[in-house]
Structure 1
Amino acid sequence: MRLRPLLHAVGCIFGLLIIVALLASPRSFAAQQSTDIPAWLKVHVGDGEGQIAQVVLQRARALYQQKMSNGAIKNPCYFAMDATRPNDLGDGKLGRRFYVICERDRSFQAISAGHGGGRDLKGIADFANGRRCAKNFGNAMDSRLTAGGAYVTSETKTSFKGYYRVSAKQDAVLIRPFVQFDGEGETANAREREIGGHPAELLRNVCLRKDPRGPSANHDGYVPFGTLVEYAGGRSNGCTSWSPSDAGQIIAMVKDDPTTLYIYPDSADIGAVARTVAAGRLLSVAGLYWNASCLREIGSPKFWPRETLEPIIAQYKKDHPAPPQGTTPICKGQ
C-alpha cells in the first residue's frame, strides 16, 4: 500500500523534470525571450515609417536567441526584414523595411531593401511583383521571388563586373560583394538558389574596351566597360539588395562573424492572410499582420511553392528556349 504513493511521487518529480528540461531547451528559451522586448526597443515597434511590426521583431529575436544559445553565432547584432511593407514610396523616397538591431549597444536602424521581382511567364503563370509592394512570394528555382523565413549569413564573395566612368579623366572598377545566406525549412535551398545580400548596383550598356595591361583583361586584352546604375528602389532576383552605402555597413558587420536574418512573411503567414481576406474578415481580428497600405494595393498575397512552380518554369523554358547569347560589342572608338 505504501508503494503506490511512492510511485506517484516519483512520477510527479519525473514529469516536473521533463517540463523544466523543455523550458530550458534553446527553442523554448528563444520563444519565451522573444516576448520580453526591452523598453528601449519597444519604442521602435509599430506600423509607422522606420518602425518594425511586433511579430517581425519577435520572430527575429527568437531566431537570433536560438542560434546564440546553441553556439551557431556570436555576432552582437541581428537582422530582420518586413517584405509586406512598401519599397518605393515615390518622389525618390524609399521605404525602410530592413532592420539592423544590436541589443548590446541598444541600437536600432531601419534601412531600405529590395524584394524579388518575380516573373511573368506570358500565357502560363504571372507571378511578377511591382516596384512598390510584393504580392507574390516563393522558393522555386529561377522564380526570382523572395522567400520569407529563417536565414543565417555565411561567406562573402566578390565578383568583377567591369569599369565605369566617374569623371572626364577617371574610371572606376565595380567589384560587387555578395553575402551568401543559408536557410532552413522552406528556405533551405537558399544556397541552391544563390540567395543572399548585395549592393543594388550593376553596369548597363556594357561594351569591351581595349586594356591589355588591365589585371582583369580577357585573353584578347579587353575589359568590360559600362554605365553604373543603382537600383535601390527597384527589385532583385530574389536576393536582398541594399543601397551601396548601407550594403558596405552590413557586409562589414557579418564578415567572418555570421548572424541571423528573419524575413517576414513565410508561407503560413501568406496562406492565413489570403484566407482571411477571402472571407472578408479583418486581419487584426484574426490576429494576423500585413502592411495595410500594400494589402490594399495587392488585394491578397500568394505563395508559390517550389513543388508547384518549378515544373511550370521548366516547361516554359522548354517551350521558349533562350536565344543564343550574343557577343559583347566593342566600345566605339576602340
Structure 2
Amino acid sequence: MRSTSSHWTIRKTIGLAGVAALLFCGPQASVAAQQPSVPAWLSAHVGFGPGQIAWPVLSRARALYMQRVSEGKVKNPCYFAMDATKPNDPSGEKTGGRFYVICEASQSFRAISAGHGSGRDLKGAADFSNGRECARNFGNAMDSNLTTGGSYMTSEVKTTFKGYYRASGMKDAAYVRSFLQFDGEGETANARQRAIGGHAAAKVSGICMMKNPQSPYANHDGYVPFGTLVTYAGGRSDGCTSWTPADATQVMSMTKDNPTTLYIYPESADIAAVAKAVGTHASLSQAGLYWNDDCLKEISTPKFWPKTTLEPIIVKYKQDHPPPPSKPIPICATQ
C-alpha cells in the first residue's frame, strides 16, 4: 500500500494552535519556492513518498517550534511532528514512518514508526474504535483512547516498573518503561489529565506473581509480577504516541530535561473539512485539503469526537456497565 500522491493544492490556513498563517502548497516540487525560509536540505524531505513529510505537517510543526523558541520556552535544537493520517508502518517499507525527528542545526531528519490511539467500541452506545493501520476516529475525551491532533510540548519523563520477564536462558530481567509526558493547549489542553504522552510499544503480558523477596520491586509478601515481554510497534495505544523500544530510548534521551515541541496532524478543523469534502464528493485537492490517500481509501470518512459530546456517553456507559469485581493475580505455577 504505497502512496505516490496525496490530495493537495494551494491555500492559506491557520492551525488551531494559532501559531501562524501557514501556506498549503501544490506539487511537492515547488515546496521550496513556496517557503524560502525552509532550508533546501529540509525541503528535499517534503513530499508524499516513503520517509517524506507532507507540507502541512512540516509547516505547522516548524512554526510551532519557532514560536516556542522565540518565547524562550524551548532551547532544544530538535522538534517533532507526526502525521496521523498515514498508515502505521513499523517495518517502514510502505511509508517509511510517520513520526518525524527534525534537527535543523545538524541538518538531521528522521522518520520513524509510531502507533495511534485505539479508540473504543462501546457496544450499543458508540463505536469510535480504530484499526491497526489507519486511524478514522480522533478526539480529546477522557477514557476515549483516541489520538488528538494539535500542539504539544514535551515535559517530564516518568519511569515505571512493569514486571519481570524471561530475558535469556533462565535469567529474569525487570522491565522498566519510561513515559514522556505531553502538555497541550486548546483541544489538547487536557493531555496531562488524560495521561497523554509517548512511550515504548512494549509491555509485560500474561502476568502472574512470582516469589522474589530480594527484589526492590517486591510487595509486602515478597512477590513480584512476572510475564512475557511483548512489543507491539504495529499495534495501537490508549491515545498515547508509541514507538519501538529503540526509538523510544532515543526520543527520551533527546528530551530529558530539555523540552521541545510536538505537532500532531490532523486537528479537528482538518478532519471536519475533509469529512465534508468526502461527503459531497468534492475533490480534496481543489479544496486545498490534505489526507493520506491510502488511509482515506481505507477509512472512507474521518471523524472527530469532541469531549463535550463523547465524555457523557462514556460516563453513562460506565454507569450502565460496571466492571466485574477484581480478581487476585494468580501465583506463578513454577513457584
The TM-score normalised by the length of structure 1 is 0.89
**Structure 2 partner of 1:3:** none
Q: Which residue of structure 2 lines up, in the alignment, with residue 193 of structure 1? A: 194
Residues 75, 259 of structure 1: 8 Å contact kept:
yes
Q: Which amino acid aligns with 1:167?
A: S
Q: Which amino acid aligns with 1:246?
A: D
**8 Å Cα contact 1:88-1:234 kept in structure 2:** no
Deviation at 1:333, TM superposition (A): 2.5
Letter matched to residue 211 of structure 2: K
Structure 2 match to 1:283: 284
Cα contact 2:208–2:331 (8 A) shared by 1: yes
SS at match of 2:75: coil
DSSP-derived class of the 2:253 partner = helix
Q: Contact between 1:198 and 1:247, CA under 8 Å: does it hold in 2?
A: yes
Amino acid at match of 1:142: D
Q: Which structure is richer in relative contact order (CA contacts within 8 A, separation 6 or more)?
A: 2
Query: Unaligned 5+ residue runs, structure 1?
Result: 1-25
Determine if the alignment matches structure 1 residue 267 to structure 2 residue 268: yes
SS of equivalent residue, structure 2 residue 182: strand
Kindly provide the CA deviation profile for residues 163-214 of structure 1, in whole angstroms up to 9, marking residues without a partner as x: 0001222111100000000000000000000000000000111100101111
- Contact in 2 for aligned 1:88/1:131 (Cα 8 Å): no
Asked which structure has the greater CA Rg, the reply is 1
CA contact (8 A) 2:207 2:226 kept: yes
Instruction: Measure, in 1, the Cα distance between the counterparts of 2:304 and 2:96.
Output: 22
Aligned length: 308
Letter in 1 for 2:199: H
Name the CA shift for 1:238/1:95 in 2 (closer, same or farther; >3 Å): farther
Misfit runs of 4+, over 3 Å: 88-95
For residue 157 of structure 1, give the secondary structure of its aligned residue in structure 2.
Answer: strand
Map 1:209-224; keep pairs closer than 5 Å: 209-224=210-225
Q: Say whether residues 1:109 and 2:130 are aligned partners.
A: no
Determine if the alignment matches structure 1 residue 167 to structure 2 residue 171.
Answer: no
* 1:242-264 deviation line (CA, Å, top 9, x unaligned): 00000000000000000000000
Partners of 2:132 and 2:93 lie apart in 1 by 12
> Is 2:132–2:236's contact at 8 Å kept on the other side of the alignment?
yes
Structure 2, unmatched stretches of 5+, are 1-17, 24-33
Structure 2 CA distance for aligned equivalents of residues 77 and 208 of structure 1: 42
Match of 2:321 in 1: 320
Q: Is the 8 A contact 2:271 2:303 kept in 1?
A: yes
Contact 2:177 2:200 in 1 (8 A): yes
Q: Is 2:298 aligned against 1:297?
A: yes
Partner of 1:207: 208
Structure 1 vs Structure 2 CA RMSD: 1.9
Letter in 1 for 2:274: V
After superposition, the C-alpha distances for 1:299-331 in whole angstroms (9 at most, x for unaligned) are: 010000000000000000000001111111000
* Alignment match, 2:143: 142
SS of the residue corresponding to residue 325 of structure 1 reads coil
Contact 1:87 1:95 in 2 (8 A): no
Identify the residue that residue 243 of structure 1 maps to in structure 2.
244
The answer as to whether partners of 1:89 and 1:132 remain within 8 angstroms in 2 is no
More helix as a share of residues: 1
The alpha carbon displacement at 1:37 in A equals 1.4
| In structure 2, distance between residues paired with 1:91 and 1:60 | 22
Structure 1 residues 134 and 156, CA, compared in 2 at 3 Å: closer, same or farther? same
Q: Is the 8 A contact 1:85 1:95 kept in 2?
A: no
Inter-partner Cα distance in structure 2 for 1:89 and 1:168: 28
Structure-1 separation of matches of 2:273 and 2:149: 14
Task: Show the counterpart of 2:10.
Answer: none
In structure 2, C-alpha distance between the alignment counterparts of 1:91 and 1:77, rounded to whole Å: 22
CA displacement at 1:279 relative to structure 2: 1.0
Moved more, 85-94 or 165-174: 85-94
State whether residues 90 and 97 of structure 2, in contact with CA within 8 Å, keep that contact through their aligned partners in structure 1: no
What's the TM-score once normalised by structure 2's chain length? 0.89
Report the Cα distance in structure 1 between the residues aligned to 2:94 and 2:39, rounded to whole angstroms: 30
What is the distance in 1 between the residues matched to 2:322 and 2:238? 20
> Percent of aligned positions with the same letter in both sequences?
66
The 8 Å contact of residues 119 and 128 in structure 1, kept in 2 or not, is answered as yes
- Residues 134 and 295 of structure 2 are in contact (CA less than 8 Å); yes or no, is this contact kept in structure 1? yes
Which residue is 1:39 aligned to?
40
How many angstroms apart in 2 are the aligned matches of 1:159 and 1:82? 28
